[in-house]
Structure 1
Amino acid sequence: MNKTLLKIENLRKEFKLKRPWLEALFKKETPTVKAVDDVSFEIKRGETLGIVGESGSGKTTMGRSILRLIEPTSGKIIFDGYDLLGLSKNNLRKARKDFQIIFQDPMASLNPYMKIGKIVSHPLEIHNIGSKTEQKERVLSIFEKVNLIPAKEFFNRYPKQLSGGQRQRVVIARALITNPKFIVADEPTAMLDVSVRSQILKLMIDIKEEFGLTYLFITHDLASAKYICDRIGVMYLGKIVEMANTYDLFTNPLHPYTQILMSAVPIPDPNIKRKKLMPKGEIPSATKIPKGCRFHPRCPFAKDICKEQEPKLKDVGGRFVACHLIDES
């Protein structure tokens, strides 16, 4: 069996911006947002790959492009041996039972007028899996696995009758109901209280082992990524700037942007003091990506070469880094 479940090659997603008609009349060039810009990586079966970065770095757009919830501009998405971009709409619909998504905001992704049992069983109806009785039994079984107990009581409730943590468990149950191989978890704990986050993360780890899942875990919370991920990719302005296993990334971050993110993680010991690195300004607009290294306007260590040449993602001792400073060392 091929150890690689998902292979992304040169994935790009661009958005054309609409302009006022008068401006469009006199200016020929249409502004383009390069949300995901030439990204490549692999995810092995049973692995959890984390993607971290600031808001606006392209994490969510990349996750949705991989699942073709939005259509990529170009690239390849090889899932379990076949290219998702080569599938027709009908074949893509059939294949969707093998890959699902856990959305960030459960209230925005759950129909408020549908009962919980109907919401979770709906994918089974779409894919014609089982009879009505079998579908209900499967939903009740999944409810128990995600700790929505007693399951029969939750079956006829509406989303508004649940707490935030319970709603997120419903979203997880819906993702699991078709027994998928791969799940994109798009900041699944961002809308939850701190006390509930650890419960949801533990649940995701437990069901990963039980169902043999593979995760792409998108988050801005490095503590959550450290807890659940085997490898972590750091994304900045549409590109992966560093990717390494979790231990190496936290003990020895190489890219300046990764170092800045790590320095912002609080340490629970007040006696430990460390120097905090601060980036200059804010993340630039994706319509006006800086020449050279796209991080150089904010980088405290930038040199002249960083302003002229864009660094490539290179293998550095088993990890991947895109930085001229690493090339020099």
Structure 2
Amino acid sequence: MKLLITGGMGFIGSNFIHYILEKHDDWEVINLDKLGYGSNPANLKDIENDPRYTFVKGDITDFELMRNIVKKVDAIVNFAAESHVDRSISSPKHFLRSNVIGTYTILEAIRKENPEVRFVHISTDEVYGDIVKGSFTEKDALMPSSPYSATKAASDVLVLGWTRTYNLNASITRCTNNYGPYQFPEKLIPKTIIRASMRLKVPIYGTGENVRDWLYVEDHVRAIEAVLLRGESREIYNISAGDEKTNIEVVKTILKLLGKDESLIEFVEDRPGHDLRYSLDSWKITRDLKWRPRYSFEEGIEKTVRWYLENEWWWRPLVNEKILHPTPWKIGW
């Protein structure tokens, strides 16, 4: 199989490429990435000379580029997106361009050049908004709370509309919060590991009681593979581990693994529209595609902490003033 990955220099995309090339000897991967914010060539440095791997620098909003690549591949997995909620609050225009116009461009390239191609669109649990009790299913309404989640919800609707109207072979995945190797240092878990290891304060929004379901990235990429190979067209698949933790619990767990004191915790002004709790029902993918997570949060977070401690060469060049001296969302953090 020849596979096009968009946004493969990012966190989840690079983990997916590593997994696919390790598991499928006869697959080829084209990685299209504009090398913007959140992309890091170091994520795939170890495979850059693999003959099965090709990197193309480019933007998914470039229609001519997309149509030339789309007609050469058997399947596409779209990871490309602006994804940092805080940045979407301070600068939403970039999120509209990448997440909405970018998805539209991919769909149009498929429609005009290769309507038989298999397409998996990677989305997020944030499109549903928050939920106090219970868990969202794939049939629940979308109620996004931020510019980021609104643009992801818009892209999901585009995929469903193009699939129905033009009979494309597309599926959507919506996952809970990922963590693991190669995650950009602005995110909660790597930021906490890095700052605590340097004996710097660890900022937590509000009271730290916001709840997230944490999914180890290797479990997520296995789920995407299952959807790619066995998922049904025009179906949505929620992906979750059922490991719900408050932000303060996550930070305290990391501090304990690092042998650091909880006095490093610093509560800061909450951001606007901060969803209280996310929770997904992933029974559908478990039942239909026989996928289950392999890692508990305790196992996954220990592996993650160890990876960051052993790979300072990777994260050190990414640590800038906004990581070392964060400021509230409203002035661009």
Shared fold (TM-score, shorter chain, > 0.5): no
Larger Rg: 1
Q: Which has the higher helix share?
A: 2
User: TM-score, length-normalised on structure 2?
Assistant: 0.30
Structure with the higher strand share, 1 or 2? 1
